[in-house]
């Protein structure tokens, strides 16, 4: 990520690095194949009326067509987490400890979805509320409340 300009109102330039690693494409194509197979298996096949992506006419073994679809459709997950990942101070990728305290900065806490070390399997709303409740309770104890 980098700044677009000196104007703080301008959105930053963000390159999510999709398909940069050589292992990305084979994994995503495999995931598409598995999802297609699952959709053809009862009871899911009774609910899935038609295939939307990649498309029914794309052969399951056509790597070139599946790769083209992945390149066209790869997008970010709309519930990003982990930009201030929780973990021990010895972990170079961790920003906060298990209570939201920023490593190396006294009195600074981060308490939101950014401290989740991984994306939850469900919507991020409830886990974020849980983090806020738990960390605010700890913070109240530290502040003498």
Contact criterion met (CB below 8 Å) for 66 and 32: yes
Helix axes 63-73 and 24-39, enclosed angle (nearest 10): 100
CA distance 110 to 95: 9
Among 33, 36, 79, 103, the active-site one is: 79
79 among known catalytic residues: yes
HSE toward the beta carbon, residue 120, CA cutoff 13 A: 15
What is the CA angle 114-118-119, rounded to 5?
80
What is the set of active-site residues? 79
């Amino acid at each position: 990520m980098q700044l677009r300009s000196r104007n703080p109102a301008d959105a930053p330039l963000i390159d999510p690095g999709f398909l940069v690693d050589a292992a990305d494409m084979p994994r995503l194509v495999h995931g598409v194949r598995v999802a297609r197979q699952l959709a053809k298996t009862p009871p899911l096949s009774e609910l899935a009326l038609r295939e939307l992506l990649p498309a029914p006419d794309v052969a399951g073994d056509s790597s070139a067509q599946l790769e083209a679809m992945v390149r066209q459709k790869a997008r970010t997950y709309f519930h990003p987490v982990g930009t201030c990942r929780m973990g021990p101070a010895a972990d170079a990728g961790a920003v906060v400890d298990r209570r939201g305290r920023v490593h190396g900065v006294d009195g600074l806490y981060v308490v939101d979805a950014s401290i989740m070390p991984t994306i939850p399997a469900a919507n991020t709303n409830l886990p974020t509320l849980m983090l806020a409740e738990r960390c605010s309770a700890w913070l109240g104890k530290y502040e003498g409340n």
